[in-house]
Each structure stands twice: as structure tokens, then as C-alpha cells.
A and B are shown apart, each in its own frame.
Chain A
Amino acid sequence: MEKRLIKIKCFAGLRKFFGSETTVLVEQDSNYAKVIEALQLLNPEVTEILSSCRIAVNEDFVQLSETIKQEDILFLIPPSSGG
């Protein structure tokens, strides 16, 4: 199946592992969870952290079970620690 390149913006502690931006290749009809899995393969050291991350698109959170739409940039959101 054809694959597509997805850009991912990273924040906070995740930048140490992936930089501010990284890319993964996923199959065309993948859901967002596949992006997390691809990142885990890229760096198994962060598997646990990634499992507590959410993904945002256009400034809204998406469900990991949803199929990735046409967007090319995802935002990887680790657990909040403001305040």
C-alpha cells in the first residue's frame, strides 16, 4: 500500500528525542495511533511517554482511532504541566 510522509511537531521533553520536528512514514489509510507506533519504533526509549501523549491537528485534539485526514502536520502533545 502507498505510504505517506507525516510531519510531527514536538514539544517539551519530547524535543530531546525527536527535535522540534520529525517525520514518519505511514500507510495511506492509517489512524493517528499508527503515528504514535511509528514514533515508538523510531525511538523505543520513549515508548512509555508516547503512550501518554495526545495528537492535535489544527489546534484541536483528535482521537487516536480516527483515520488521518489530508493534513500533513500533526502536533504531538505530552501531558500538560502548566500552572
Chain B
Amino acid sequence: MKHLQNANISYSEIFDEFRHPSSGAVVLFSGEVRNNNKGREVTHLEYEAYEPMANKMIEEILVEAKSRFKLNQAECVHRLGKVEISGCAVVVVTGAGHRKEAYDANRYIIDKVKNEVPIWKHEFFADGTSEWGQNCDCVTDEHEHSHHQEKAE
């Protein structure tokens, strides 16, 4: 699917193709897998999605952001399956006439994707346990705290 893939995300390739004669600013955000979370050592993540809906929602978020922030281009690709430490889990690229729109739109898109799109992270820890994650790092003021966390066996 256009916005979801099992293979590694080559953000340098996406970035290289992100040229537009009206764009004076291109911003790339890469969400990468950390080796720790809340004091615990993380070995890797696995992502699952309700794929057709997630793909559709990401497309809708991009279309809305392009209009809202007057972007020339916007792209977002999210990984599915196993992602190793330092692997790219999600990339958002935005291109606009000026940097403010490109930065603001990029932040808007990643926040919406993280909070609204049906994609789920399964975190695996060095002690052999795993948990279905939640995005409660409270980066957005309007973020609703309706999360759950379940220990996997």
C-alpha cells in the first residue's frame, strides 16, 4: 500500500525526489526505534495495522494538511512488521514555499498519524517480555489520554 510497507523505508530516496520549483523548504521527520522506553531496554518493535483503513486515513491526513498549510507536497510512509533499533518506523516529508509551513505541517501530520491512524506498536524488551505500546508521551496539548497497555505473554 502507498503509505504502509513491510520493507525498510529509504527516506533518503523519498527526500531526493522531493523537489518542487515552488518549494523553498523541505522538512523530513523520521520516527526511529529507540533502544529504551521508560527505563527499559528495548530490543525491537513490531507494527500492526488495520491496513486499508490506515492507508486511507494517512492519505486523507496528507490531503487535508496540504490544503491547510498550503504545501506543495506531502508524503508519509509507515512501517509494518519488525523494525530493529535505529530503524525508521515512520517518515513524514513536507514541502512548502517557506519553512514555517513545512515545519508546522510536518508536526501536524505526524501527530495526527500517531494519534488517530489504526496502527499499533508491539514493543519487545531485553528481559524477554513484550507490551502493546501507547503513544502517551504527551507531545500535543490536545492529545486525548485514552490509552491502554497490555502485557503480552
* Chain A positions near chain B (C-beta within 8 angstroms): 9, 11-13, 16, 48-49, 52, 56, 59-60, 75, 77-83
Asked if B74 lies at the interface with its beta carbon under 8 angstroms from chain A, I say: no
Contacts A11-B48, A82-B120, A83-B114; is A56 near B78 (CB within 8 Å)? Answer: no
State how many residues of chain B have any CB contact under 8 Å with chain A.
34
Query: Binding site of B, secondary structure by majority: helix, strand, loop or mixed?
Result: mixed
- Some 23 contacts from A to B, beta carbons below 8 A apart, are A11-B118, A12-B122, A12-B132, A13-B149, A13-B150, A13-B152, A16-B153, A49-B150, A52-B147, A56-B118, A59-B53, A75-B53, A78-B148, A80-B115, A81-B120, A81-B121, A81-B147, A82-B54, A82-B89, A82-B114, A82-B135, A83-B110, A83-B114
Q: In the docked arrangement, what's the CA distance between A42 and B50, Å?
A: 23
The reply to whether A82 and B90 form a contact with Cβ atoms under 8 Å apart is yes
* Chain B positions near chain A (C-beta within 8 angstroms): 31, 47-50, 52-54, 56, 78, 89-90, 110, 113-122, 132-135, 146-150, 152-153
The reply to whether A59 and B52 form a contact with Cβ atoms under 8 Å apart is yes
Q: In the docked arrangement, what's the CA distance between A68 and B31, Å?
A: 38
Cβ-neighbour of A79 out of B49, B110, B147 (below 8 A): B147
